[in-house]
């Protein structure tokens, strides 16, 4: 492993590189790191991220931004302590519109981010996903479950890129002795989500705020569990600071059907929307619920924000967007 570049004598702050720093989760992670005394170098090419998510950081002496595609070589003069690889499209619309870019950021982007960590002697975390479990045959999903994924379906570009990213991360850990962390993120919601990204939370909220019919796919009995972004980012931070190198689920195990969730959104927004049904998309998972026993035991972490409370802040954000 290459030796770390020495930090300037007058700087005692750890340095974090966040790829995908202008995205929904990457921008919230950046805020948390800055609040906890890190210098942050954010990298994003704005394919799915937005400058609006980080414009409040303009003029912050501890934040530097680089507009770059992370599938290209990442060159930094700075010393680096942590690399947080969050760059990736993460919605069904993206998978259909930019499948090759999705595959490239999960493979080539992960390779470049790991190369940076290796060069700097930094600790590395990959933001993986519950989608590596596919349409699961076990419920709830534990980290030991290998998944039920279609390599050739419309979601395969995302699912398989993340599975490859996990494998590459473990290869760098084993061969180059890099300190690596793998977080499997389950459904997360909150301010800064893209209104039209195709995921259920922004879709239902935007439809409800416009009093338009809320579109539920299939019979609505498929389940999801929703974690507020602040809980998720706290869990991810604790994982990076731990000494555990195998995958850890971070999410909220409070499961509900899509019909129940649609009704929650209607109630929370005071909407006059009615629920309509549409055909179930191909390879859409029937169930999704994390087993978070590892996170509880290793990180002393579990979600704190109830759905009703998180929805208030999320709906307030979307009122200004729709």
Q: Give the residue-averaged pLDDT of 289-315.
A: 96
Mapped to the 3 state alphabet, what secondary structure does 4-16 carry? CCCCCCCCCCCEE
Q: Which residue has the tokens 């790829």?
A: 19
Using a pLDDT cut of 90, give the percent of the chain over it: 84
Query: Does 158 participate in catalysis according to the annotation?
Result: yes
Catalytic choice (95, 133, 158, 229): 158
Question: Looking at residue 82, what is its pLDDT?
Answer: 98
Q: Give the residue-averaged pLDDT of 277-304.
A: 90
Which of the four pLDDT bands, split at 50, 70 and 90, describes residue 7?
Answer: low
CB of 195 closer than 8 Å to CB of 318: yes
Q: Give the residue-averaged pLDDT of 50-75.
A: 97
Give the number of residues written for the chain.
322
CB of 218 closer than 8 Å to CB of 286: no
Is 197 buried (19+), middle (13-18) or exposed (0-12) by CB count in 10 A?
Answer: middle
Question: Looking at residue 11, what is its pLDDT?
Answer: 63
**Residue whose C-alpha is closest to residue 38's, from 60, 55, 19:** 60
The more confidently predicted of residues 230 and 7 is 230
Q: Give the residue-averaged pLDDT of 90-104.
A: 93
Question: Looking at residue 196, what is its pLDDT?
Answer: 84
Query: Tell me: the pLDDT tens digits for 201-226?
Result: 999 999 999 999 999 988 889 889 99
- Per mean pLDDT, which range of 158-167, 231-240, 286-295 is the poorest? 286-295
User: Two tokens at 66?
Assistant: 């680089």
- Domains and their CATH numbers in the chain: 15-192+227-253+289-304 (3.40.50.720)
């Amino acid at each position: 492993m290459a030796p770390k570049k020495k930090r300037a004598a007058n700087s005692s702050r750890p340095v974090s590189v966040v790829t995908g720093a202008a995205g929904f989760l990457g921008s919230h992670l950046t805020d948390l790191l800055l609040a906890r005394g890190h210098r942050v170098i954010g990298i994003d090419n704005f394919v799915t991220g937005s400058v609006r998510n980080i414009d409040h950081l303009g003029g912050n002496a501890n934040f530097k931004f680089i507009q770059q595609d992370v599938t290209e070589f990442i060159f930094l003069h700075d010393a680096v302590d942590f690399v947080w690889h969050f760059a990736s499209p993460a919605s069904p619309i993206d998978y259909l519109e930019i499948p090759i870019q999705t595959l490239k950021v999960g493979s080539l982007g992960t390779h470049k981010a790991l190369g940076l960590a290796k060069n700097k002697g930094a600790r590395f975390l990959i933001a993986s996903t519950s989608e590596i479990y596919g349409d699961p045959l076990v419920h709830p999903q534990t980290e030991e479950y290998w998944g039920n994924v279609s390599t050739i379906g419309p979601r395969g570009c995302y699912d398989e890129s993340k599975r490859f990213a996990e494998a590459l991360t473990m290869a760098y850990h084993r061969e180059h002795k890099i300190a690596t962390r793998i977080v499997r993120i389950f459904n997360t919601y909150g301010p800064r989500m893209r209104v039209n990204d195709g995921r259920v939370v922004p879709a239902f909220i935007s439809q409800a705020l416009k009093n338009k019919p809320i579109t539920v796919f299939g019979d609505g009995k498929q389940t999801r569990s929703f974690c507020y972004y602040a809980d998720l980012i706290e869990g991810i931070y604790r994982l990076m600071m731990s000494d555990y190198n195998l995958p850890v689920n971070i999410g909220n195990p409070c499961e509900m059907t899509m019909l129940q969730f649609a009704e929650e959104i209607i109630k929370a927004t005071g909407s006059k929307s009615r629920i309509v049904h549409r055909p179930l998309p191909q390879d859409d998972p029937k169930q999704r619920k994390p087993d978070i026993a590892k996170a509880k035991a290793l990180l002393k972490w579990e979600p704190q924000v109830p759905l009703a409370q998180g929805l208030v802040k999320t709906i307030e954000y979307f009122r200004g967007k729709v």
